[in-house]
Structure 1
Amino acid sequence: MKRIGLTGSIGSGKSTVSRLLVKRDIPVLDADQVAREVSTFPDVLQKVSEAFGPEYVTPEGFNRPKIAELVFHQPEARQTLNGIIHPRVRSRMRELEEALQADLVVQDIPLLFESNLDALMDATIVVDAPLEERIARVMARDGLSREQVLSRDNSQMPAAEKRQKATYVVFNDGSLEHLETQVNRILDALLKSGS
């Protein structure tokens, strides 16, 4: 099984690329979705409550707005939360991957390079788009202010650095057809080369 890491800055269109991969029958494991699942585990809620206070958890899981506000303004809090969540997410992703019968699997991981998880991948794909387009998308999608989007973007590795580290780069700066053409070209290269 070949493991491909998919990442991109906030608002770049990673979810759209994931949908295009699924359309080609490529399994995509979404680290954010797994993190949401893990964030409901009682032991995780207990650790987060102990680390930050009971107001950061609810019976259903994290108090997401409070957690987001905390981690995007306090790097040490983000590090603490990542220390609680990331090992459990990686363990669950391994379980899901092992259950698949596929030659190629894509792991959609927002902090792929920041977490050094690219070392576990056979290749990496970075989705990128112009900053102003990304800001507009996230403001429309999540109802955030420009400053909130920029704060989240600045908490991640710069897009230029991600592009430099990537095996493949997809530019989401045009039509869906243009994006799909790029994704298909990369996928064909991966399937042909086996790397």
Structure 2
Amino acid sequence: MTFSLGLTGSIGMGKSTTAALFLEAGCAVWDADAAVHRLYDKGGAAVAAIQSVYPGAVLDGQVSREALKQIIGKDPKALSMIEAIVHPLVSQDRSKFRSEAKNDILVFDIPLLFETGSDSEMDAVACVMIDAETQKDRVLARETMTVEQFSQILGKQLPIEEKSARSDYVIVTDTVDHARAQVDVILADIKGKMANA
């Protein structure tokens, strides 16, 4: 028996760090963002499909995220077109991971878990969270995003209060040690459920 745990949270809340803690604890982790990178890379499954709709989005045989950002900025319909190509491919990638994983507990790191309805595929959901000020500081410290882009991303995501209310577990990511302690508690709870199943 395997247990599927969805891991979600808004941008800058510490999801990648928390996913690494689950990996460290012996879980298999599937990362939605990494899957998209694979699909956009040279030879990736999304390259030809995106090129047929937006030829300017493909440079040197791979999808350019920067070019996509500009296309989406100019054409309001572009995002849903791109999502219609990419979401089914991401879903296939996730199914492949699920069928090949050897671990008892599978963690699915999906920023838009609730927004895409992927929570229905999970046995439980864990949501990472931190206060809004720390979140903003973390995101802007990366220096890859403007305040405006950050606001746009937040606008596409469910409010963190709703995500955490819909989740089975909430992980506060104020420090790595605190997050690790919470991950350990969650894994002990899941293992208990699996033993009694």
Give TM-score, length-normalised by structure 2.
0.90
Which residue does 1:107 correspond to in 2?
A: 108
CA deviation after TM superposition for structure 1 residue 69, in Å:
4.2
SS in 2 for 1:38: helix
Do the aligned residues in 1 keep the contact of 2:39 with 2:45 (CA within 8 Å)? no
Counterpart residue type for residue 97 of structure 2: L
SS in 1 for 2:51: helix
Do the aligned residues in 2 keep the contact of 1:135 with 1:150 (CA within 8 Å)? no
Which residue does 1:45 correspond to in 2?
A: 47
CA deviation after TM superposition for structure 1 residue 143, in Å:
2.5
Do the aligned residues in 1 keep the contact of 2:47 with 2:62 (CA within 8 Å)? yes
2:94 is aligned with 1:93: yes
Which residue does 1:191 correspond to in 2?
A: 191
Which residue does 2:177 correspond to in 1?
A: 177
Where in structure 2 are the equivalents of 1:64-143 lying within 5 Å?
64-71=65-72, 76-143=77-144
CA deviation after TM superposition for structure 1 residue 68, in Å:
2.8
Q: Distance in 2 between matches of 1:111 and 1:143?
A: 20
Do the aligned residues in 2 keep the contact of 1:13 with 1:127 (CA within 8 Å)? yes
SS in 1 for 2:16: helix
2:72 is aligned with 1:61: no
SS in 2 for 1:169: strand
SS in 1 for 2:46: helix
CA deviation after TM superposition for structure 1 residue 83, in Å:
1.0
Extract unaligned runs of 5+ from structure 2: none
Q: Structure 2 vs 1, CA of residues 105 and 147 (structure 1 numbering), >3 Å: closer, same or farther? A: same
CA deviation after TM superposition for structure 1 residue 9, in Å:
0.2
Count the aligned residue pairs.
193
CA deviation after TM superposition for structure 1 residue 156, in Å:
1.2
Do the aligned residues in 2 keep the contact of 1:128 with 1:170 (CA within 8 Å)? yes
Q: Which moved more, 1:69-78 or 1:125-134?
A: 69-78
CA deviation after TM superposition for structure 1 residue 102, in Å:
1.5
Give TM-score, length-normalised by structure 1.
0.90
Q: Structure 2 vs 1, CA of residues 116 and 171 (structure 1 numbering), >3 Å: closer, same or farther? A: same
Counterpart residue type for residue 52 of structure 2: E
SS in 2 for 1:35: helix
Counterpart residue type for residue 9 of structure 1: S
Which residue does 1:13 correspond to in 2?
A: 14
Do the aligned residues in 2 keep the contact of 1:8 with 1:128 (CA within 8 Å)? yes
Q: Distance in 2 between matches of 1:72 and 1:142?
A: 20
**1:101-122 deviation per Cα after TM superposition (whole angstroms, max 9, x unaligned):** 1111001111110110100100
Q: Distance in 1 between matches of 2:143 and 2:169?
A: 28
Q: Distance in 1 between matches of 2:68 and 2:123?
A: 33
Q: Structure 2 vs 1, CA of residues 192 and 146 (structure 1 numbering), >3 Å: closer, same or farther? A: same
CA RMSD of aligned residues (A): 1.9
